[in-house]
Amino acid sequence: MLTKNFVQVGDKAPNFSAIGVFEQEFKQITLSDYLGKYLILLFYPLDFTFVCPTEIIAFSDMYNSLESLNAEVLGISVDSEYCHLAWMQLDRESGGVGDLRYPLVSDLNKEISSSFNVLNNEGKSLRGLFIVDKEGIIQHCLVNSLDVGRSVDETLRTLKAIQYVQSNPDEVCPANWQPGQSTIKSNINHSKEYFQSI
């Protein structure tokens, strides 16, 4: 029997409780409080860096689209809550992130990043993105190196696909699927309908 010490798709997301910053205030953030919603966990290396603000801002700017899909976002790094607050108080033109539509969580003790297996050897979080469903189950994970930013559009597309197949358990979504496009019946005979149509 193989043993594992890391989370993967299909596992229950490890619960955590930590201090976050939202609307210029410190707030206790607990993963289990988000049950009943889809949750995007956005791990990133450090505040006051280069790629990180582009991602943090992009997800904030697309927050309405995510919220319309019953989804919330948590940004998580190994910075302190004070560092998060200072970063939020700095305007975007000066390298800050300004007001955000979602909390930034402090993982100063690095326990959250470790539990999601995104902590690198330098003690920073890799660019890990996890989509957790309404039941607290990890449905998607993506991990980039420190130098490569993630796509909000692809996150939205993936979230919509996850929601679709959860609502239609006899169907699966092909590559590059967008809402309204054909899906594949998860049956060897009926699946031919899709392949004959492309």
Domain boundaries, the chain: 11-149
The pLDDT of residue 193: 73
Helix (H, G, I), strand (E, B), or coil: what is residue 90? coil
Q: Which two tokens stand for residue 192?
A: 């031919």
Residue with tokens 């031919």: 192
pTM over 0.75: yes
Angle at 54 between CA 50 and CA 144, to 5 degrees: 75
Q: Hey, what CATH class is 11-149 in? A: alpha beta
What whole-number distance in Å separates Cα of residue 67 and Cα of residue 150?
Answer: 19
Residues identified as active-site: 52
Element (DSSP H or E) covering residue 88: helix 81-89
Per the rule left: phi > 0, alpha: psi between -120 and 50, beta: everything else, 185 is: beta
The pLDDT of residue 6: 82
Dump pLDDT digits (tens) for 109-166. 999 999 999 999 999 999 999 999 999 999 999 999 999 999 999 999 999 999 999 9
The mean of the pLDDT values for the chain is 93
Q: Is the pLDDT of residue 28 over 70?
A: yes
Angle at 40 between CA 64 and CA 88, to 5 degrees: 70
